[in-house]
Amino acid sequence: MPATEVTPDDPNFCYDEFAYFDENCHEYGISRPGDLAVARVAHTLDDGRTISGLRWGSGRPTAVFLHGGAQNAHTWDTVLLALNIDALALDLPGHGHSSPRDDGWYDPANNAAAVIATIEAFELSDVLLVGMSLGGLTATAIAARRPDLVRSLVVVDVTPGVNADKAEAVHAFIAGPQYFETFDEIFGRTVHFNPTRTHESLRRGILHNAHRVTEGEHAGRWRWNYDRRKLSTEDMPPMVDLWSDVAAVKAPYLLVRGGASPVVDDDDVAELMRHQPTAEVIVVDGAGHSVQGDDPLRLTEILRNRL
Question: Which DSSP letter does residue 90 get?
Answer: E
Asked whether 212 and 9 are in contact (CB, 8 A), the reply is yes
289 is a catalytic site residue:
yes
157 is a catalytic site residue:
yes
User: Rounded to whole angstroms, what are the CA distances from 45 to 15, 116, 120, 202?
Assistant: 27, 10, 11, 32
Strands 179-180 and 210-212: what pairing?
unpaired
User: Rounded to whole angstroms, what are the CA distances from 176 to 166, 261, 286, 299?
Assistant: 18, 20, 26, 29
Q: How far apart are CA 152 and CA 168, in angstroms?
A: 30
133 is a catalytic site residue:
yes
Which among 95, 97, 275, 289 is annotated as catalytic? 289
Can you tell me whether residue 23 is helix, strand or coil?
helix
Which among 98, 99, 133, 152 is annotated as catalytic? 133
Asked whether 141 and 164 are in contact (CB, 8 A), the reply is no
The answer for residues whose C-beta is within 8 angstroms of residue 299's C-beta and 6 or more apart is 79, 156, 256, 284, 291, 292
Which among 77, 91, 107, 157 is annotated as catalytic? 157
The answer for residues whose C-beta is within 8 angstroms of residue 86's C-beta and 6 or more apart is 56, 57, 58, 59, 60, 61, 62, 63
Residue 306 burial by Cβ neighbours in a 10 Å radius (0-12, 13-18, 19+): middle
Q: How many CB atoms lie within 10 A of CB 285?
A: 9
Burial 193-221 (b: 16+ CB within 10 A, else e): ebeebeeebbbbbbbbbbebeeeeeeeeb
Query: Catalytic site residues?
Result: 133, 157, 289
